[in-house]
Structure 1
Amino acid sequence: MIIKYWPNRQSINLNNAVVDLFIETEKKLILKTDNQSQQYLYLDILNNITKTKLLQLILSEFKELILDIIEVNLNARILIKLNKKIVEIFIQRVSKNFFTKFNIRISNSHKNRFKHISSNFTNYLLIYLIFGSSYIEDDIFLFETLYTPYNHVKVLLENFIIHIGNLVIKQLIYNLNNCINIKKFLKKQNICNKLYASNRSIILFLNNLKWQNFVQSYIYDIKSFYNERHKVWIISSEGINSKYIYLSQGEKIQSLNQIKIIFLFWLELKDLLIPKAEKFFIQIAKYFLYCSINLLSNLILILLRIIVFYLNK
């Protein structure tokens, strides 16, 4: 199978690759957007029609964002520096266009909850689409930057779309404030997933999300950090799914809080001690088994001799 690589610099080939990527992603969004990942998403509370429309809106707005950035003619360094602000404004624009249909206004207090959403993946995606792969630092991913697979950029785009969609609906849920308002709004607008049509099911859904986010933040994210893997959302033939890709995390250690650093230290200690402990206990078990077999065989031998002695007598 021939691997298709992403163009490494600004050119007509890069423009064509971006157009092909957007067209391919549009087609995938039409096919299926069911959550098959075994994890909860805020998007799950929407029915499939509304979920697909939201993801399509995000893709459409993202096209405009790319064109706007190209028109402004930002260089790669400035683009990376402004990444957080760009993504924040992008989410506000998507939210405004999506919520306007339902006559909802998002308060500033809820907007502030989502200022932390920017990630390195957004940086990389924008650079790939605008400047090409040669502007990505070496040793970030497993492959050389000049040989970046086309499918790698496709995964980053799909992950971005689903991630933004999830945050937009999270914003909606926070804005509605409680499960009664959420239920009334979803039913009134006819956009509710039938699985979450009752107050009880909505409460259970939100509690599961809170617990999942807590575990994700304090356990799985640290393990992923330690293993230099990052979870991404993809659009497969079955629907929305997740996978892990390699991502160098060397520079992020300073951003971890004390609890996460302790957990990271425990993982290091575990990897150092457990193999030795396992080896020690296996050796002890072998000796114990050996001694037990010898003792049992000697007892059987003594018992047989006693029986023979009494029979002869």
Structure 2
Amino acid sequence: MYHKMIIKYWPNRQSISLNNAVVDLFIETEKKLMLRTNNQSQHYLYLDILNNITRTKLLQSILSEFKELILDMIEINLDVKMLIQLNKKIVAVFINRVSSNFFFKFKFNDTTFNKSKLKYDHNNLTDYLLIYLIFGSSYIEDNTFLFETLYTPYNHVKVLLENFIIQIGNIVIKQIIYHLNNSININKFLKKQNICNKLYTSNRSTILFLNNLKWQHLVQSYIYDIKSFYNERQKVWIISSEGTISKYIYLSKGKTIQNLNQIKIIFLFWLELKDLLIPKTERFFIQIAKYFLYCSINLLSNLILILMRIIVFYLNK
């Protein structure tokens, strides 16, 4: 007997149903944050340098602050166009507020350090998340994701929220690391505050961790991000039963090509050229290999036949 899977969809417009869906989403996410937040992906996060308790508290505080942000924005009564225009500023203010609250617990006096250098990786996912939560799915442009906007899965919005929380948490810890400037200061601070991951308690392990992050960022920016752009995929972070993992979702990126720098455009062009030429080149070499193999087998079989005839001739003689 087959059981039909029931898909829960996100509400289309502002209504009691949307309010209830938002409340349910926040409750579900809050419960997930109480389970495991350790990094189980193949990629490094700045959050990894924190122990489990501190990491969970930070992510929970981000969720709590985000609830207040959504309520504030509903009260302001912005329209969708104004929301999209102000979104970068909204996120910047939100990061500063989360950072200030988090730093205050550890007696940081200066909460304005390096904020101009550490910006949220704005990839429109935040726009979509805020639109889903405040206005409903009908305000998302068609063909942005793989499904019709009126049939947006509830789990899709849940993924966007979890990704947002992890990304913001990552930036907050990145700010601390930038402010402390070197591995010795970072190590001392984390140990003093008793918030350090046991894997990074030594100065050497901290240096290795930071170098791995720098190398990962370089490779990600100039290789994997371009490949994801080319394949219209977007990397997201989600909280699973095992911990934090990374996945890819489809995201139309036709409008964002103008934001790429020259090196990335060249790499993108190379990917296009590769996809055009390699299949034809492969077919050419496969055909050549087939002819070569056919000729080699015929030549070998003829040589064996000639050799056998020579042996028979000498035996008869």
TM-score in same-fold range (> 0.5)? yes
SS in structure 1 at match of 2:236: strand
Is 1:176 aligned to 2:191, yes or no?
A: no
Is 1:113 aligned to 2:117, yes or no?
A: yes
Is 1:85 aligned to 2:120, yes or no?
A: no
Tell me the CA shift for residue 114 of structure 1: 2.0
* Equivalence map 1:256-267=2 (5 Å): 256-267=260-271
Alignment equivalent of 1:43, drawn from 38, 43, 47: 47
Query: Structure 1 294/127 Cα, relative in aligned 2: closer, same or farther at 3 Å?
Result: same
SS in structure 2 at match of 1:234: strand
Alignment equivalent of 2:213, drawn from 198, 209, 212: 209
Tell me the CA shift for residue 107 of structure 1: 5.7
Distance 2:41 2:56 in 1: 17
SS in structure 1 at match of 2:40: coil
* TM-score after normalising by structure 1: 0.99
Q: Residue 198 of structure 2 aligns to which amino acid in structure 1?
A: K
- Write the deviation string for residues 151-177 of structure 1: whole angstroms up to 9, x where unpaired: 000000000000000011011100000
Distance 2:240 2:110 in 1: 32
Q: Residue 200 of structure 1 aligns to which amino acid in structure 2?
A: R
SS in structure 2 at match of 1:103: coil
* TM-score after normalising by structure 2: 0.97
Q: Residue 54 of structure 1 aligns to which amino acid in structure 2?
A: L
Tell me the CA shift for residue 108 of structure 1: 4.0
SS in structure 1 at match of 2:283: helix
Aligned to 1:102: 106
Distance 2:109 2:219 in 1: 31
Tell me the CA shift for residue 119 of structure 1: 2.8
Tell me the CA shift for residue 138 of structure 1: 0.7
Q: Which has the higher helix share?
A: 1
Q: Residue 28 of structure 1 aligns to which amino acid in structure 2?
A: K
Aligned to 1:188: 192
Aligned to 1:122: 126
Aligned to 2:56: 52
Distance 2:136 2:191 in 1: 45
SS in structure 2 at match of 1:233: strand
* Equivalence map 1:249-260=2 (5 Å): 249-260=253-264
Work out the percentage of aligned pairs sharing the same amino acid. Answer: 81
Distance 2:272 2:55 in 1: 41
Distance 1:68 1:6 in 2: 21
Query: Structure 1 41/106 Cα, relative in aligned 2: closer, same or farther at 3 Å?
Result: farther
Distance 1:45 1:188 in 2: 14
Distance 2:75 2:118 in 1: 27
Residues 83 and 118 of structure 1 are in contact (CA less than 8 Å); yes or no, is this contact kept in structure 2?
A: no
Residues 34 and 240 of structure 1 are in contact (CA less than 8 Å); yes or no, is this contact kept in structure 2?
A: yes
Aligned to 1:282: 286
Distance 2:305 2:74 in 1: 89
Distance 2:205 2:78 in 1: 47
Query: Structure 1 116/234 Cα, relative in aligned 2: closer, same or farther at 3 Å?
Result: closer
Alignment equivalent of 1:7, drawn from 3, 11, 16: 11
Residues 186 and 192 of structure 1 are in contact (CA less than 8 Å); yes or no, is this contact kept in structure 2?
A: yes
SS in structure 2 at match of 1:32: coil
Tell me the CA shift for residue 118 of structure 1: 2.8
What RMSD in Å do the two structures reach over aligned CA positions? 0.9
Alignment equivalent of 1:226, drawn from 208, 222, 230: 230
Distance 1:170 1:194 in 2: 18
Q: Residue 24 of structure 1 aligns to which amino acid in structure 2?
A: E
SS in structure 2 at match of 1:82: helix
Is 1:269 aligned to 2:273, yes or no?
A: yes
- Write the deviation string for residues 52-79 of structure 1: whole angstroms up to 9, x where unpaired: 0000000000000001101111111101
Tell me the CA shift for residue 106 of structure 1: 4.3
Distance 1:136 1:46 in 2: 36
Tell me the CA shift for residue 34 of structure 1: 1.0
Alignment equivalent of 1:163, drawn from 158, 161, 167: 167
- Write the deviation string for residues 247-302 of structure 1: whole angstroms up to 9, x where unpaired: 00000110000000000000000000111111111111111110110110111111
Residues 6 and 149 of structure 1 are in contact (CA less than 8 Å); yes or no, is this contact kept in structure 2?
A: yes
Q: Residue 280 of structure 2 aligns to which amino acid in structure 1?
A: K
Aligned to 2:297: 293
Tell me the CA shift for residue 105 of structure 1: 3.7
Aligned to 2:71: 67
Aligned to 1:26: 30
Q: Residue 70 of structure 1 aligns to which amino acid in structure 2?
A: I
- Write the deviation string for residues 76-102 of structure 1: whole angstroms up to 9, x where unpaired: 110100000000000000000001011
